[in-house]
Amino acid sequence: MEIEYINLPIIDFEEKGKLSFMETGKDIPFEIKRIYYIYDIEELNIKRGYHAHKTLKQVIFCLNGNFTLELDNGLEKEEIFLDKPNKGVLIDSNIWHNMKNFSKNVVIMVVASDYYDENDYIRNYNEFIEYINKKNNARGIVGVKTLD
């Protein structure tokens, strides 16, 4: 499965710190309409996510600490360790994703292509597989994955 990494520029001021930035259409491959943060995770062994989006595109960054991102396109799964504030990963639409193995004081930032819309979520894994198969059938690709 091909992973699209977004490596933001770093301006290094040495003892004065580093500066990274992102610009819509340049570093981020969509217009940013929403930004949200995940932080203050007390139970570090929990898993978050367990959903896919029908149309939303997102780029996820780990601003502090580290965690593991799981991506699943219905065919293949990938685990990505994120621990650098300038290294983002594109979570495209139709990708089932989870976050796990959080470090203490982890701060996760997500930039998203649209406003929050619960109707854009697929929160059931079997529904996700059915949705992917239907899309692929429409494109002439058959038999992506059968349900358990």
Cβ proximity to ligand TYD: between 62 and 133 the closer is: 62
In the complex, what is the shortest distance from the CB of residue 18 to ligand TYD, in angstroms, rounded to a whole number? Answer: 27
Is residue 107 within the footprint of ligand TYD (CB under 6 A)?
no
Is residue 116 within the footprint of ligand TYD (CB under 6 A)?
yes
Cβ proximity to ligand TYD: between 18 and 33 the closer is: 33
Per DSSP, the residues of the chain read: ----EEE--EEE-GGG-EEE---BTTTBSS---EEEEE---S-TT--EEEEEESS--EEEEEEES-EEEEEE-SS-EEEEEE--TTEEEEE-TT-EEEEE-PPTT-EEEEEESS---GGGEE--HHHHHHHHHHHHHHTT--------
Amino acid at 104: K
Is residue 85 within the footprint of ligand TYD (CB under 6 A)?
no
Contact pick of 27, 29, 30, 34 for ligand TYD (by CB under 6 A): 34
Q: Are strands 34-38 and 96-100 parallel, antiparallel or unpaired?
A: unpaired
Residue 51 is a catalytic residue: yes
Contact pick of 5, 21, 36, 81 for ligand TYD (by CB under 6 A): 36
Is residue 37 within the footprint of ligand TYD (CB under 6 A)?
no
Task: Pick the catalytic residue from 51, 87, 100, 145.
Answer: 51
- Chain residues in the site for ligand TYD (CB under 6 A): 34, 36, 38, 48-49, 51, 116
